[in-house]
Each structure stands twice: as C-alpha cells, then as structure tokens.
C-alpha cells in the first residue's frame, strides 16, 4: 500500500504548520512504501544541505520500518550496526525520519524532515506522520 | 534569484491541471537557480522511473539555461555535444525540462516533467513555466 | 546572491597570502550560494587529497550556513548529527570551511581550505572570508 | 612533470582573454599530469552545467594524451571506442579539452573549457594551451 499524493500533501501541510509554530525553516520529504519520493517541499530559507538529508531520512525510515533515531542508537561505534550508513546509497540515522503506518498496521511510506535541531526535526516529522496514522509497526507479519 | 516556494507551488499547480487535462500521470520537479530541488510532486500512478527523470530534466534546464530538448538536438551521434549526458551526475536531454525566467530576464529556476510522451511532458512543463514567466533567456548578460 | 569571480579571486588572494605566511601548501576552493564551484587554486606541493576536501568543506559551509567545524562538534559518536557526513555526496565536518556573508546578511557563498593542520586550514579560510565579509549569518530571515 | 600553479594561471589568463574576445562566458579548468585539478575559474554568467564539463574535458585529455574531440570521433555508435564515456567516472569526448605538452615532449597537464559552442570552447582551450606549449605529444616514449 503506497501513500497517495493526497495523503502525502496532508502530511506535509501538518509538518509545515508545526515548522512555522517552531519558527523553523524545513525541508520535508515523503516517500512511499517502496522508498521512492512522492512529494517534497523546501521552505524558503531552509538549508540547501537539508534537501538530501530529509529525503535520506524518509528513505531510511522505510528501509527498516522504524524511526531513523532508533537505527542511530545501534550504529554507534561498537554497536551492532556500526557503519550501516554506508549502505543503500547513504543513510541518515539521527532523528527526523518516521515510518507512516495506517490503522491496519500497513506501512504506507515515511516522512523525513531536516532543517533545525534534531529535536525540532523530529517534532515536525511527528506532526506530519500523525496526520496520517502512527509510526509504530505491528510485529511481523506487516506488509508494505 | 532563487524561485520561492510559493512560486514553485503555483507552477506545480498549473502543471497538474494540464496533466489532468491530458489524462496523464506525471512527476513534476522544480529546482532553484542553483539546480537544487525546491518542490516535487508525483501524481498517483505515475511511473516510479519518472521521479529521477523529472528532477534531472529540471536540473539540466538550469545547468545550461535552455529547454532540455534543445540540448538533445545537439547530443545525437555525430552531433557536437554527443555524450554530454555523462556530465553533472547524469543529464536528461529530451523534452520536458524548461528554464523559468522572470520579467527582468533573470533565471529563477526550472521545471522538469516526466510520465508520458515527450510531447505531453513538454506541454505540462510549459503550463507550469508559464505560471511564472517565460523560458526564453535574453542575450547575455543574464543572471541567476 | 552569488559571489562574483572578482570577489572569489580576492578571497583566494588573501588566503594564499596567509598560507605563505604560515609556510603551508593549500588547496583553496570558493563556491557560490548554490554550492557550485566558482574558483579553485592548488598551490604547488599541496596534497592531492586536499583537492576534494577543500571543495567539500566549501560546499558543506554553504549547505548549512555555518563553519564546518561547528557541524563536526555535533556529528561525533553519540552526538545529535552522527553520520551526517554521508549526505550530499559526502561532507567534511572539521574546520577549514566558512560561509561568506555580506554586509546585508546575505550568504554569497563559502570558502574551503585544506592542506595543513585544521588550525592552519581554518586560519587560511578566515583570511579569505574576511576579504569579502563575515562568516556570521544573522538570525532568520537570511537569504542566499 | 606536473604543471605549476604559475603556469596554470598563465594558461587561464590567456583563455579568459580569448573568451572575452569571443563574447563568451566560460568555465576553465586546468589539471596536472595526474588528471588532478590544479586551477579552476568560472566567469560570471557561465553555465553552471559547464563546471563539471570543463573539468571532465581536462581530465579526459590527460587520461589519453589527446584532444577530447579525437576521442569523440572514435566513440560514436559503431566506432571502436563506443561507450568509453562510461569509464573513469564519466568522460566528455567532444572538443574543448587539450593536453598541454612542453618543449621536451612531456605532458604537464591539460586544459578543459566549456560554456559556448564547441568551436568556441576549442578556441578558448587552444589559447590557454598555447600559453604553455603544444597539444601534440611525440610518439612513445612520452612521460608525464
């Protein structure tokens, strides 16, 4: 089940509203359950470097069906996934990317946000995600 | 002079309207005058392979300040620019990418469209471009 | 607002003067506000490996509108931006890259220097930056 | 024998003079005999897409010790080097790149120019090359 463009836009609108509330300037990306870009929005004055980071956060969240920050906990030096960022053309494993899961437990895609502190990035991604569902996948089997 | 997000969205809205009129399913990308992604929109049922093509068309149009199809005429076997597609991380040189130039002759960015025949891609890109200005750059000097 | 070639050359000349004063052999890169290369200068006997590092430092400084060393403080193991170097085709996040901001608070581009200790790299980048303005961006809104 | 920065700058100055005479806006790159960037200069209003092309032309000329246009004659469909552009991270095989050979027949590097018609690109590269020597390598053995 892929996110529709209508839903992707709804998520982005909620993310923008939260970004403005926080006085931040964000790049916001939504990918579908195949990790392919569905919609992207760069607010004026957002960092140019955040374009790629927001897209990579969204992809990373779909690649493994979990928040990017969870992967980052495991990829530290000495951790079980150290260096995983080298895969898949480059991952971003700090907070700001969240899977988007519907009421049936199906992952429809993910949202990635970059442009401020990771706390703000995460808050804006959360606002976008909540417009559509949850970030929590059920135990396997889950489908995309 | 970079395109604003408000203008990028206006271009995308006009492009979507044209795409629907033509019964097509398009990926539409807008980049700024530095060839960095500003906004992206993938209609439901558009080809996944068109994501990258639409972005590369927009970038290509900014890279050389001309419609992508003009470059393609010169890059054919035996032509003066044969193989130029190998530069800049990959160019797309068939129609569907257009620079966007304001009333002062300043290139603010470009639009790239992919998802149907090149004639349709070009028509949809044209609709988006016309929402903001023209695709014709004046003779030098022009600025970005 | 993109840095002009005249200004880019002025920055490089000041950077070279400082590099000679420090008895170092540097690669010096200037990019515009779109992170695209404007001018590059490799002093004789500079490390070949510093070509790419100097360019990446300049790009990194524009990507996020801050000195590269500031990003490096946040990207250490356990830090909030751990692994950010995997984005944007590869970042360099130790000192030696500085944004260049004009008197109106507009970021016109950045300078990146590599070839010696990071302290020397930073000193040479600073000399180049000061030829044109400051490295301090005002609080938002700022424009490129 | 690598080109010195003093010589690279002399070549670029002659190339700029020719570019202005032709009313063109060029990117000019000089690489050493290891195909590593020595100096780069982007004239104001030059195409952003020409940055990479000028550098790739200079590299291509060193890679094979011949003008880029000569390789392009061999890389056409049905030709003996068809598809060679896929090697070495991307070649550019139309005119505008020339090796630079000193009086002893030693290739010290190459110059690559992009920004106008290939005839103009070639003329500007020729002006830069002639500031330092010739583009003609002697029969083997020749050294770099």
How does DSSP assign C104-137, residue by residue?
TS-EEEEEEEESS-HHHHHHHHHHHHHTT-BSPP
Distance CA C6, CA C115 (A): 24
Which of these ranges, B62-76, C84-98, D127-141, has the smallest mean pLDDT? D127-141
pLDDT computed for residue C110 by the predictor: 98
Instruction: Indicate if the pLDDT at residue D100 is higher than 60.
Output: yes
Q: D–B contact (≥3 CB pairs within 8 Å)?
A: yes
Compute the radius of gyration of chain D from its Cα atoms: 14
The pLDDT, as a whole number, for residue A1 is: 74
What was the pLDDT predicted at C137? 85
CB-CB neighbors (< 8 A) of B48 in chain A: 34, 36
Give the H/E segment covering residue D115: none
- Cβ(C125)–Cβ(C111) below 8 Å: yes
Pairing of the two strands A27-32 and B27-32: unpaired
| Chain A residue with minimum CA distance to C76 | A76
Q: What is the mean pLDDT of residues D27-52?
A: 97
Chain D interface with C: residues with Cβ < 8 Å: 4-5, 34, 36-44, 48, 51
In chain C, which ranges are continuous DSSP H helix? 5-21, 49-64, 68-74, 118-130
Residues of chain C with Cβ-Cβ distance to B36 below 8 Å are 34-35
pLDDT of res. A57: 98
State yes or no: pLDDT of C144 exceeds 70.
no
Neighbours of D134 (CB within 10 A): 15
**Helix, strand, or coil here: D28?**
strand
**How far are the Cα atoms of C41, D11, D26, D132, D133 from residue D6, in angstroms, in the given order?**
10, 9, 20, 11, 14
| Residue B51 in tokens | 């994501």
Chain Cα centroid distance, residue A43: 17
DSSP D32-64: ETTS-EEEEEE-TT--TTHHHHHHHHHHHHHHH
What pLDDT score was predicted for residue B64? 95
What are the structure tokens assigned to B59, written together?
């970038």
Radius of gyration (Cα) for chain A, nearest Å? 14
The reported pLDDT for the residue numbered A142 is 59
Q: How many CB pairs under 8 A join B and C?
A: 14
Residue from A49, A60, A92 whose CB has the most chain C CBs within 10 Å, to mutate: A49
Q: What is the pLDDT of residues C41-60, one digit of tens each?
A: 999 999 999 999 999 999 99
In chain D, the residue whose alpha carbon lies closest to the alpha carbon of C9 is D41
Average pLDDT value for chain C: 94
- Here the tokens at position D74 are 């061999």
Mean pLDDT of C1-24: 96
Provide ipTM, 2 decimals.
0.93
Give the whole-angstrom CA distance, residue A15 versus residue A44.
15
Q: Are A126 and A98 spatial neighbours (Cβ–Cβ below 8 Å)?
A: yes
Contact A6, B43 (CB under 8 A): no
Region of residue B142 (phi > 0: left; psi between -120 and 50: alpha; otherwise: beta): beta
How far apart, in Å, are the Cα atoms of B124 and each of B61, B130, B132?
15, 10, 14
Percent of chain C whose predicted confidence (pLDDT) is above 70: 96
Q: Which domains does chain D have, with CATH numbers?
A: 5-130 (3.30.450.150)
If you count residue pairs, one on C and one on D, with CB atoms under 8 Å apart, how many are there? 32
Per 3-state DSSP, what percentage of chain D is helix, strand, and coil (rounded to 5)?
40, 20, 45
Alpha helices, DSSP H, located in A50-143 = 50-64, 68-74, 118-130
**Of the partner residues D5, D36, D43, the one whose CB lies closest to the CB of residue C48:** D36
- Residue A144 is predicted with a pLDDT of 62
Inter-chain CB proximity A49 and C87 less than 8 Å: yes
Q: State whether residue D18 is helix, strand or coil.
A: helix
pLDDT of residue B134: 93
* CA D62 from centre of chain: 8
Q: Which residues of B touch C65 (CB under 8 A)?
A: none
Task: Calculate helix-pair angle for C118-130, C5-21, nearest 10 degrees.
Answer: 140
Looking at residue D141, its pLDDT comes to: 57
Q: CA nearest C141 in A: which residue?
A: A45
pLDDT of B137 reads 85
For residue range B2-54, what is the model confidence (pLDDT) as tens digits? 899 999 999 999 999 999 999 999 999 999 999 999 999 999 999 999 999 99
Peptide bond just before B34 cis, omega within 30 deg: no
Residue D94 CA, chain-centre distance (Å), reads 10
Measured distance CA(C44)–CA(B128) in Å, rounded: 49
CA D142 to chain centre: 18
Q: What separation in angstroms does the CA of A116 have from each of C108, C136, D97, D102?
A: 21, 17, 43, 53
Q: Which of B50, B49, B44, B47 is nearest to B29 (CA)?
A: B50
Distances (CA, A) of A92 to A56, A124, C61: 6, 17, 19
The 10s digit of each residue's pLDDT in C111-130 is: 999 999 999 999 999 999 99
Residue C89 DSSP class: T
* pLDDT the model gives residue C89: 95
Pair D20, D46: CB distance under 8 Å: no
Give the 3-state secondary structure of residue B117: coil
Helix, strand, coil distribution of chain B in percent, nearest 5: 40, 20, 45
Taking CA–CA distances from A25, the nearest residue in chain C reads: C140
Is A129 in contact with A62 (CB distance < 8 Å)? no
Which of C2, C34, C144 faces B35 most closely, judged by CB atoms? C34
| Spans of chain A, pLDDT less than 50 | none
């Amino acid at each position: 089940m892929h996110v529709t463009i209508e839903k992707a836009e709804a998520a982005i609108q909620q993310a923008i509203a939260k970004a403005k509330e926080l006085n931040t300037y964000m790049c916001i990306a939504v990918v579908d359950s195949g990790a392919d870009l569905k919609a992207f929005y760069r607010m004026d004055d957002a960092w140019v470097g955040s374009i790629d980071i927001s897209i990579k956060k969204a992809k990373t969240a779909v690649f493994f069906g979990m928040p990017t920050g969870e992967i980052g906990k495991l990829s530290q030096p000495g951790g079980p996934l150290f260096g995983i960022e080298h895969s898949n053309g480059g991952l971003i494993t700090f907070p700001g990317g969240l899977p988007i899961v519907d009421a049936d437990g199906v992952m429809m895609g993910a949202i990635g946000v970059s442009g401020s502190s990771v706390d703000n990035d995460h808050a804006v991604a959360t606002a976008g995600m909540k417009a559509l569902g949850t970030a929590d996948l059920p135990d396997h089997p889950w489908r995309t």
